[in-house]
Amino acid sequence: METKELNLITNREKAIEEAGELLKNGGVVAIPTETVYGLAADAFNADAVAKIFEAKGRPQDNPVIVHICDRDQLSKVVSAVPEKAEKLMDAFWPGPLTLVMPKADAVPSTVCAGLPTVAVRFPRDKDTQDIIRAAGTPLAAPSANISGSPSPTKALHVMSDLKGKIDAVVKASGLCEVGLESTVIDMTKEPPVLLRPGAVTPEQIESVIGKIEISEGVLHQLPEGETAASPGMKYRHYAPKVKVVLVKGSYEKYRDFLNDRQSSKNVALCYKGEGTDIGCPAISYGLCNSPEEQAKELFDALRRIDKMAVNVVYARCPKPEGIGLALYNRLIRAAGFEVLDLGE
């Protein structure tokens, strides 16, 4: 299959119209959003949704998020809206927040992997909104990568994973604004349960609806055989092909640790401005004091590492606070929960 490139920069109107047409006709199209690129299909077309799973190699038991372009579309996909969900929508929609709610009968079970609930998001990116509008239907869209690899934050990442397997990619300029997948919170529980941290932080959520629970799987490895509240949490994820080790401690300790075992097969994953005094290749992403910039650049950095002939990535460990919790969650999964604590 030829994968069309629809360029928003050179002809926005045409790109959106063509993406809309393809989606209306059961096609599968990668689209930019403020979080990461999504692989979209008509959420009410079970055959089209099946193509998403096939292209990504996504396990059938991992449900996908449904994207809408205004709150009126919500009643098509959910059967009830809990009061606290309403409050979160008022505060954070459109934006990088996904709410799990009871599903409407019309949503095919492939979208929800057989669960009685559906995850819904109203993205704030204007291009995403216009593509959904052009398609004339809510869009089911997980991240547009091969399952398990780092999520794509630019069109080139999508092409390197899915060229020839999908109908088209809509190309925006530069990296996605946020760079990490949306915050996911289960609103069918009381208190609501945070399933995946993202740019909308637990602190921000609690300031609107009070106490929430953080799912065990956010920070820890789930014991073998335990059912995950969010099926996606049980898979190794966001990972480059090489081994990743997360390293806790000060920059000085980290530098000395790497310099003690100099090897061109190691790579340091550190922050901008660091790494010049480390005797192995270094890839840097985001300034040390800007977790937002780190979020935006992390997946691109992991993909750059995959192009290097190295064996082990030693990654600086972000502070698990604010959006740093989301960074920590992605990196600890990439590392298969392997953490080395060097102390301060």
What amino acid occupies position 120?
V
Rounded Cα gap, residues 167 and 2, in angstroms: 7
119 binds ligand AMP (CB under 6 A): yes
- Scanning the structure block, which residue is given the tokens 């559906």? 118
Structure tokens given for 297 = 């650049």
CA 103, distance to chain mean position in Å, is 22
Contact of residue 128 among ligand AMP, Mg ion, none (CB under 5-8 Å per partner type): none
The window from 81-89, 139-147, 245-253, 297-305 that contacts Mg ion (CB under 5 A) reads 139-147
Region of 112-120, 138-146, 208-216, 270-278 interacting with Mg ion (CB under 5 A):
138-146
Q: Does 201 bind Mg ion (CB under 5 A)?
A: no
Binding map of Mg ion across residues 140-159, x = CB under 5 A, - = no contact:
--xx----------------
DSSP 233: G
Between CA 99 and CA 89 the distance in angstroms is 9
Residues between 179 and 218 with contacts to ligand AMP, criterion CB under 6 A: 181, 184, 195-196
Residue 183 engages Mg ion in binding (rule: CB under 5 A): no
> Quick one: which of 59, 148, 231, 320 contacts ligand AMP (CB under 6 A)?
231
Q: By CB under 6 A, what part of segment 237-276 binds ligand AMP?
A: none
Q: How many residues bind ligand AMP (CB under 6 A)?
A: 20
What single-letter DSSP state applies at residue 136? T
- State the burial class of residue 331 (Cβ atoms within 10 Å of its Cβ: 0-12, 13-18, 19+): buried
Stretch that binds ligand AMP, among 112-120, 152-160, 206-214, 336-344 (CB under 6 A): 112-120
Residues 6+ away with beta carbon under 8 Å from 305: 240, 242, 267, 269, 283, 313
Judged by beta carbon distances under 5 to 8 A according to partner kind, the member of ligand AMP, Mg ion, none in contact with residue 196 is ligand AMP
CB nearer to ligand AMP: give 41 or 268.
41
| Residue 146: partners with Cβ closer than 8 Å, 6 or more residues away | 56, 57, 161, 162
Q: What is the DSSP letter of 55?
A: H
- Site residues for ligand AMP, 8-27, by CB under 6 A, read none
**Helices 202-209/83-92 angle, 10° precision:** 120
Phi, psi of 52 (to 5 degrees): -60, -50
Of 15, 29, 65, 209, the one binding ligand AMP by CB under 6 A: 65
CB of 333 to Mg ion, least distance (A): 11
Q: Which does 166 bind (CB under 5 to 8 A by kind): ligand AMP, Mg ion, none?
A: none
Q: Which of 22, 100, 168, 283 binds ligand AMP (CB under 6 A)?
A: 100
The answer to whether the CB of 69 falls within 8 A of the CB of 122 is: yes
Those residues with Cβ within 8 angstroms of residue 84's Cβ, 6 or more apart along the chain or in another chain: 187, 192, 209
**Which residues neighbour 190 within 8 Å (Cβ) at sequence distance 6 or greater?**
none
The binder of 320, among ligand AMP, Mg ion, none, by C-beta within 5 to 8 A per type, is: none
Q: Report yes or no: 33 and 172 within 8 Å, Cβ to Cβ.
A: no
Question: In this chain, which stretch among 17-25, 81-89, 228-236, 250-258 interacts with ligand AMP, using CB under 6 A?
Answer: 228-236
Q: From the CB of 344, what's the least distance to ligand AMP, in Å?
A: 33
How near is the Cβ of 175 to Mg ion at its closest, in Å? 17
Which residues would be at the binding site for ligand AMP (CB under 6 A)? Answer: 62-65, 100, 112, 115, 117-119, 142-143, 181, 184, 195-196, 230-233
Instruction: Write out the residues near Mg ion by the rule CB under 5 A.
Output: 142-143
